[in-house]
Structure 1
Amino acid sequence: MEHVIVGSRRYLEVTARANFFVNDVNWPGALAKRPGSVHIHTHQGTPLKYMGADLLDKPGARLGFDVPQMLRRADRWDYSLVANRHSELVWERAYPCHFTSVRTGSPRNDVLVNGGDSDFRQRYGIPETDTVVLYAPTRRDYRRTGHVDRVDLARFAADLGAGHTLVVRLHPSLANGPARGMGLTELARRGIVVDATDEPHVADVLLAADVLVTDYSSVMFDYANLDRPIVVHADDWPAFTASRGAYVDITAEAPGHVACSYRELAWLFASGCWRDEESARLRAGFRARYCEFDDGRAAERVVRTLLLGEPMPEPGAVRIPEQASERDALTSA
């Protein structure tokens, strides 16, 4: 794939002439919005924690973020892609700007919906018969480093026992922080866990996992497209919501069983409840709500409608009635 290096002469030439700009993070401040150019924001998944203007009431969470500058950049967006109506409401609230929300689904999830291939297990030497448990925690805004050890990884790997492989993927912002230097790197070197933090494509890791264990990472919304078990480890939910804020009480609207302590987390796996009928029931409701427009054709829909100007077809995902309670909650929060 042809690419350019940010800041290079070729980059400046391309950005000066390109008609379409697609991004999933905060836009570069130096990128001018030319007349006739189209800016498309794909976002990094479905939002759980507060974003954009909602951070104005969370001083600890917005440390290092210039919220007014973020909003000025968001005012350049032409289109905001959404995978569900929850995202549509949140982005329009968090970024009260002049873009148009488009119910295309999330292009990043096409590979998950369509059951793409992954060579992750082979590259890391994980036996095909092993149950791969993916642990993917998010960062904490109430700690300066962003990292808090919520799970003793060596103990968890041991408690899972033979026939299980524990794969750990830290939040990208913690990739070069103390979370790895203080133990994860050594555990991976000794073969106790697999460190997938540096994997460039998170979908490869998700496809290889049989179950996801996370706290409040938005990766759970992506992983739900695979219809595989999810366990939420929410032992510091009050502290997390107080410092960052959340649009959804994930302990009440969980995609699977919720553990409020390590003891509960270990029991879910020891008992086999992590994949029982209740887990499947919770996951079905979660998928209906948050995988609403993900039908495996999001990227095609974006190209055909936003780039080529064809009529917008309806996503072929599961349809659910409008959730008035969510709209009211977002308006009053």
Structure 2
Amino acid sequence: YRREFVAAEGFTFPPGYYEDTPWTFPVMLSAGRIAALDRICLNYRQRRQGNILSTTSRKHFDVHDQYERVFAFLDSHPELNSWRPYLHRKMGEHCLDILAKPDRLPPADKAEFFRRTADLFHRLKPEGAQVDGEAALLEGSWTGYRLRRQAGRVRQGAARRAGAVRRVAAGRARTGWASLHARRPLDPELVVYSASAHRGLLGDPAAVHRAALRIAPQLRGVWVVRDAETAAGLPPDVEHVIAGTRRCAEVMARAKFLVNDVPWTGVPAKRPGSVHIHTHQGTPLKFLGADLLDKPGARLGVDVPQLLRRADRWDHSLVAGRHAELVYERAYPCHFASARTGSPRNDVLVNGGSSDFRERHGIPDDHTVVLYAPTRRDYRRGGHVDRIDVARLAADLGEGHTLVVRLHPALATGPARGLSLTELARRGIVLDATDEPDLGDVLLAADALITDYSSIMFDYANLDRPIVI
């Protein structure tokens, strides 16, 4: 908030609980301009017990006095009168939310809180205002409110139980269907592929699939994808199944070959005679598998014993080189054979493949393309750390340069992309290549790479172009 604006309008925080209510609404309604910044400016820290609003106390009654102050502000600013219906509904919803929380008000005080809220709601109701939704409960009685709440809880409980029954039944049906097909012989020409937790035709599995079409055309490849939206992005001639469906369970049970770059989850037990090929995700420059056991900061959310049990399925581990072979065999002490094949997705780089990335994105032929590709931080919840001011980097590169940014897939839907990268791409300051399905296309188009400790550096090194760490 600009100090001059706050001083001129005389905004203050009053005493009591919910003291931000008569600050936030008047300030937001009075502001001539509101800007959104592309970075976190405030960190809200709480004790493990939560904040003061999660305590059980009669002090929650303060919310009524705070809304009195909000409406007194409106009385003194008739030019903001059009906001009364919104604030009236918001007040009702806010107070009902406090009432619904089991740990906010002492049980003996809930009826009084409802009646005081209803009185305030009636007294401040704008003339002609229509009341609907949750706030309409305040036009009834305390008894009626309680009955509505109880009925709602009964319906929610019934819905949860019905949902649980459906999920259990569906799971048993899938298991039974898979068990049925597991009694049939393996299909010696069926290959099931997946990449990056069923995110589509990506990485090394995609390269293996393309090579199989050329080298062993008798093989039938089926891709496991996570949802219909992902399936829609596949080429029309690629056969697929949706993860978790009966059809998926059937092909998984019958497939002779299974190819993935992350451990399979939620799949039937490995059948004798089936061949699991694990391609990994590039050259490892971090701790993995069993190496995480004494690295609690790096194994956030990782069940290492479960991970190793899934790695027990692997028959072949495709590795980029001797370093990767040593790391993976130490991190996954399981019974597989390492094949030092290189990363299949990098064949296009080694063999001098072509890329239409520049043409598709309208990058001038004479521009130098700089690729910035940071990885995720395992030690940071959310995985993102700002190390470079992307807008300033683009400006410092100057004319004749195009800055391309490709985030780690795990950051594609988080705050790292959020307002900042999305807005910079919209304004043409950078080119966001996070969603590009073929990494090779992006690497071939780049004249130089800037990265931290992303394994993309090992892929890009095949091009013998500059890398800035």
Q: Give me the whole-angstrom Cα distance separating, in 2, the residues matched to 1:206 and 1:85.
A: 23
| Aligned 8 A contact 1:29 1:73 in 2 | no
Q: Give me the whole-angstrom Cα distance separating, in 2, the residues matched to 1:197 and 1:7.
A: 27
Tell me the amino acid that sits aligned with residue 187 of structure 1: L
- Which of 353, 358, 361 lines up with 1:121 in the alignment? 358
The worse-fitting range, judged by mean Cα deviation, of 3-12 and 115-124 is 3-12
Tell me the amino acid that sits aligned with residue 91 of structure 1: Y
- Which of 278, 294, 300 lines up with 1:57 in the alignment? 294
Q: CA 1:31 to 1:207, structure 2 compared with 1: closer, same or farther past 3 Å? A: farther
Question: Is residue 413 of structure 2 the alignment partner of residue 176 of structure 1?
Answer: yes
The match for 1:90 is: 327
The match for 2:250 is: 13
Give the drift of 1:202: 1.1
Q: Give me the whole-angstrom Cα distance separating, in 2, the residues matched to 1:5 and 1:192.
A: 37
Q: Give me the whole-angstrom Cα distance separating, in 2, the residues matched to 1:83 and 1:146.
A: 25
The match for 1:159 is: 396
Question: Is residue 434 of structure 2 the alignment partner of residue 197 of structure 1?
Answer: yes
The match for 1:270 is: none
The match for 1:186 is: 423
Question: Is residue 281 of structure 2 the alignment partner of residue 44 of structure 1?
Answer: yes
Q: Normalising by structure 1, what TM-score?
A: 0.68
Question: Is residue 328 of structure 2 the alignment partner of residue 77 of structure 1?
Answer: no
The match for 1:224 is: 461
Give the drift of 1:143: 2.1
Give the drift of 1:17: 0.8
Question: Is residue 271 of structure 2 the alignment partner of residue 34 of structure 1?
Answer: yes
Q: Give me the whole-angstrom Cα distance separating, in 2, the residues matched to 1:25 and 1:121.
A: 30
Q: Give me the whole-angstrom Cα distance separating, in 1, the residues matched to 2:336 and 2:242.
A: 28
The match for 2:65 is: none
**SS of the counterpart of 2:241?**
coil
Quote the sequence identity (%). Answer: 81
Structure ID, larger Rg: 2
Tell me the amino acid that sits aligned with residue 27 of structure 1: W
Tell me the amino acid that sits aligned with residue 290 of structure 2: A
Deviations 1:88-125 (A, max 9, x none): 10000000011111122221111111122211111111
Write out the 4+ residue segments of structure 1 that deviate beyond 6 Å after TM superposition.
none
Superposed, 1:219-298 pairs within 5 Å as: 219-232=456-469
**More RCO (CA 8 Å, sep 6+):** 1
Deviations 1:136-158 (A, max 9, x none): 00111232121111000010000
Q: Give me the whole-angstrom Cα distance separating, in 2, the residues matched to 1:60 and 1:159.
A: 35
The match for 1:264 is: none
| Aligned 8 A contact 2:292 2:299 in 1 | yes
Give the drift of 1:204: 1.1
Deviations 1:261-316 (A, max 9, x none): xxxxxxxxxxxxxxxxxxxxxxxxxxxxxxxxxxxxxxxxxxxxxxxxxxxxxxxx
Q: Give me the whole-angstrom Cα distance separating, in 1, the residues matched to 2:445 and 2:303.
A: 37
Give the drift of 1:31: 3.6
| Aligned 8 A contact 1:137 1:170 in 2 | yes
Superposed, 1:289-308 pairs within 5 Å as: none
CA RMSD in angstroms comes to 1.0
The match for 1:111 is: 348
Q: Give me the whole-angstrom Cα distance separating, in 2, the residues matched to 1:144 and 1:106.
A: 29
Q: Give me the whole-angstrom Cα distance separating, in 2, the residues matched to 1:182 and 1:129.
A: 30
Matched residue count: 232
Deviations 1:139-182 (A, max 9, x none): 11232121111000010000001010000001100000001113
Q: Give me the whole-angstrom Cα distance separating, in 1, the residues matched to 2:287 and 2:245.
A: 34
| Aligned 8 A contact 2:256 2:274 in 1 | yes
The match for 1:102 is: 339
Q: Give me the whole-angstrom Cα distance separating, in 2, the residues matched to 1:80 and 1:119.
A: 31
| Aligned 8 A contact 1:211 1:230 in 2 | yes
The match for 1:24 is: 261
Deviations 1:209-245 (A, max 9, x none): 111110000011111111111110xxxxxxxxxxxxx
Give the drift of 1:43: 0.8
The match for 2:240 is: 3
Q: Normalising by structure 2, what TM-score?
A: 0.49
Give the drift of 1:10: 2.3
